[in-house]
Structure 1
Amino acid sequence: MNPLLLVLLLFVGIPLVELYFLIKVGGQIGVIATLSLTLFTAVLGGWMVRAQGVSTFGRVRDAMDRGEVPAIDMMEGAVLLVCGFLLLLPGFVTDIVGFIFLIPWVRRWLLTVGLQSSGVMRPMQSDHYEPQNGERKRVIEGEFRREDE
């Protein structure tokens, strides 16, 4: 996709869609109710992002304490940052997208699918534990050294 078209879509298309839905909802429930609903979703979304961000930070810290690389958890933190931005924007479409990404299993599933489709992450292959005639393969790990050299 052309980067210029993407920028045009982001900075022109999304605000126009948001404005359309704000006008439609405002015509149905009134201006004060629409503004209140927009403010409520921003406050609720900010609180939810903060709570999940603290939880994600705790998982990152725990993984680092164990000496692991918390790549998926760090990417979830980045997605939560985007969620927070989307929920603070006035409008219902960005709020819906932000709230969808706040569901933990949806967020993790979308990250996994995105990483697998981009080739960054491959599905795990269980070569060592593949059933063969009802039994597991026996794998003996070790090191070796040639004696003839």
Structure 2
Amino acid sequence: MIKKSWLWAALFIIPAFELFGFILVSSWLGAPKTLLLLVSTSLIGLLMMRFEGSKVLQDSKQQMQEGLVPGRTMLDGLCVFFGGLLLIIPGFITDIIGFTLVFPLTRTIYRGLLLKWLEKRMKNGTFTFYRR
């Protein structure tokens, strides 16, 4: 479980970095172009999330019809979902992380980290897996 102090720190640190990024980019491009860039990256990200999300859903349905467990595909779906959430949040840092979560080539990095985290939790007994 994530400690509450990390959540409080992230609640203040992430917006501070986003504000710094917005000020930095707006000093280079100007405020109207920066706002246009933020809106356009969010729209492009949402379109990517929609396309990749439907692709992941089709892959998982196909694997289930073949009698396979769609484990990797489900982790991809989780990455696409969280990437989409980050793309909705206005800011350049969250957009970069969101794009890398949604984009298939960089998603494998996050999937590997997520697998290691799940494996560690299962070995420690802090993550339990229930079957019907």
TM-score, normalised on structure 1?
Answer: 0.73
Structure 2 residue aligned with 1:81: 81
Closer, same or farther in 2 for the Cα pair 1:7/1:55, shift >3 Å? same
Q: Which has the bigger relative contact order, CA under 8 A and spacing at least 6?
A: 2
For 2:84 and 2:117, how far apart are their aligned partners in 1? 25
For 1:18 and 1:109, how far apart are their aligned partners in 2? 23
Give the letter for the 1:64 counterpart.
M
Moved over 3 A (4+): none
For 2:7 and 2:64, how far apart are their aligned partners in 1? 36
- Answer whether contact 2:60 2:73 (CA < 8 A) is retained: yes
Structure 1 residue aligned with 2:27: 27
For 1:27 and 1:60, how far apart are their aligned partners in 2? 45
1:61 and 2:61 aligned: yes
Structure 1 residue aligned with 2:40: 40
Give the letter for the 2:106 counterpart.
V
Q: How does 1:118-129 map to 2 (within 5 A)?
A: 118-119=118-119
Root-mean-square deviation (Å): 1.8
How far does the alpha carbon of each residue in 1:49-94 deviate from its partner, in whole angstroms, 9 at most, with x for none? 1000010000000011111110111111111111001111111001
- Answer whether contact 2:76 2:107 (CA < 8 A) is retained: yes
For 1:45 and 1:112, how far apart are their aligned partners in 2? 22
Give the letter for the 1:86 counterpart.
L
- Answer whether contact 2:84 2:102 (CA < 8 A) is retained: no
User: Offset of 1:7 from its aligned partner?
Assistant: 0.5
Closer, same or farther in 2 for the Cα pair 1:61/1:105, shift >3 Å? same
Residue segments in structure 1 that go unaligned for 5+ positions in a row: 121-149
Closer, same or farther in 2 for the Cα pair 1:4/1:72, shift >3 Å? same
TM-score, normalised on structure 2?
Answer: 0.82
Give the letter for the 2:80 counterpart.
L
Closer, same or farther in 2 for the Cα pair 1:79/1:2, shift >3 Å? closer
Residue segments in structure 2 that go unaligned for 5+ positions in a row: 121-132
Q: Give the structure with higher Rg (CA).
A: 1
How far does the alpha carbon of each residue in 1:76-117 deviate from its partner, in whole angstroms, 9 at most, with x for none? 111111100111111100111111122313212431343136
For 2:25 and 2:109, how far apart are their aligned partners in 1? 32
Closer, same or farther in 2 for the Cα pair 1:76/1:92, shift >3 Å? same
- Answer whether contact 2:82 2:101 (CA < 8 A) is retained: no
User: Offset of 1:5 from its aligned partner?
Assistant: 2.3
